[in-house]
């Protein structure tokens, strides 16, 4: 932007750009938003101009010889950017997900109670749930795929369980509200399993982990990606904000504690983010899943968890 504060310019040889782009009329100040965008257009097109504060806004002056061309350029800019950015997309209608999500979270708590009992099952006297289902990196890479899922349902203690339920419920309920319970839980399970897989590939083969936190941070990544895609026309230069907020949450909640598995948290977030991008672009084109498909996805997720535990016990 070219400005000359001293000596002052000779106003008789300059013309003011009016907010209505009229050819004549008294100088009227532009709003800050209009001044900012129009001055950038003139600067990009190589026009000489002067800016002068005027009350709550600004006056924009251009030389006589370029006045008509500057107005034409700004009029073209306004025509090309009419109704831009588009209005915010409406919030998706709330789906009937809350009860199902709460029951699923409750089932995780009940299952934790079960793991504390001396249960005899499938030839195990008693069942050592942690040993059978933890995310053992070496065993995952030798074919025990079920550990990618069973480890998400296990917890090392009550504090571990309550932390994941309290924090996770906030993100999971929001995710299922936006996508529907079936798609939300399917993506959540996929993000947790993929996060565990990537973690196993990069960790020592003796590495072990349990907990739903990989899926919880998958939910954080999913929500960040959904927000980035859904509101992409309104982010402009602030497009990294959803990602930055999610990474800040990861740093705050996912990297503290002596037994924290930072790798699982990070990879859960990354996998969730990738899945969220794909899901939101697909929803843009195809729409959200209907109630029948959502029920089918819910059932498939539950069956997959049961199959994983059946494989572990077998």
Task: Using DSSP, state whether 9 is helix, strand or coil.
Answer: coil
Vertex 97 angle, CA 93 and 100, to 5°: 175
Q: What is the dihedral of CA 74, 77, 81, 82, to 10 degrees?
A: 50
Among 66, 213, 227, 301, the active-site one is 213
Is 213 an annotated catalytic residue?
yes
Among 136, 155, 207, 265, the active-site one is 265
Residue spans of alpha helices (H) in 86-203: 98-115, 129-133, 137-141, 147-150, 158-179, 181-202
What's the full length of the chain, in residues?
314
Q: 99: how many CB neighbours lie within 10 A of its CB?
A: 9
Burial class (CB in 10 A: 0-12, 13-18, 19+), 261: buried
User: Torsions phi, psi of 143, nearest 5?
Assistant: 115, -5
Is 265 an annotated catalytic residue?
yes
Q: Which of 242, 226, 224 is nearest to 280 (CA)?
A: 226
Strands of the chain (E only): list them: 14-16, 50-54, 57-63
Cα–Cα distance between 314 and 143 in angstroms, integer?
14
Residue spans of alpha helices (H) in 45-157: 64-80, 98-115, 129-133, 137-141, 147-150
Residues carrying an active site annotation: 213, 265
């Amino acid at each position: 932007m070219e400005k000359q504060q001293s000596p002052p310019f000779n106003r008789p040889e300059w013309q003011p750009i009016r907010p209505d782009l009229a050819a004549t009329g008294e100088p009227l100040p532009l709003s800050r938003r209009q001044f900012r965008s129009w001055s950038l257009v003139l600067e990009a097109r190589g026009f000489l101009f002067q800016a002068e504060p005027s009350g709550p806004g600004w006056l924009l002056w251009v030389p006589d010889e370029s006045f008509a061309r500057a107005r034409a350029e700004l009029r073209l800019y306004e025509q090309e950017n009419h109704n831009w950015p588009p209005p915010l997309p409406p919030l998706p209608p709330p789906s009937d997900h809350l009860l199902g999500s709460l029951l699923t979270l409750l089932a995780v708590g009940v299952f934790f109670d079960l793991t504390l009992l001396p249960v005899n099952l499938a030839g195990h006297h008693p069942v050592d749930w942690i040993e059978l289902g933890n995310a053992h990196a070496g065993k995952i890479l030798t074919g025990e795929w079920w550990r990618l899922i069973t480890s998400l349902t296990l917890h090392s203690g009550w504090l571990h369980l309550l932390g994941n339920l309290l924090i996770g419920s906030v993100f999971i309920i929001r995710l299922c509200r936006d996508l529907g319970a079936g798609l939300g839980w399917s993506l959540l399970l996929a993000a947790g399993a993929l996060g565990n897989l990537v973690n196993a590939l990069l960790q020592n083969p003796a590495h072990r982990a349990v907990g739903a936190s990989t899926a919880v941070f998958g939910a954080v990544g999913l929500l960040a990606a959904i927000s980035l895609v859904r509101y992409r026309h309104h982010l402009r230069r602030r497009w990294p904000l959803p990602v930055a907020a999610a990474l800040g949450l990861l740093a705050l909640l996912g990297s503290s504690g002596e037994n924290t598995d930072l790798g699982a948290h990070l990879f859960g977030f990354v996998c969730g983010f990738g899945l969220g991008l794909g899901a939101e672009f697909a929803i843009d084109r195809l729409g959200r899943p209907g109630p029948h498909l959502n029920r089918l996805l819910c059932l498939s997720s539950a069956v997959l968890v049961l199959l994983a535990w059946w494989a572990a016990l077998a």
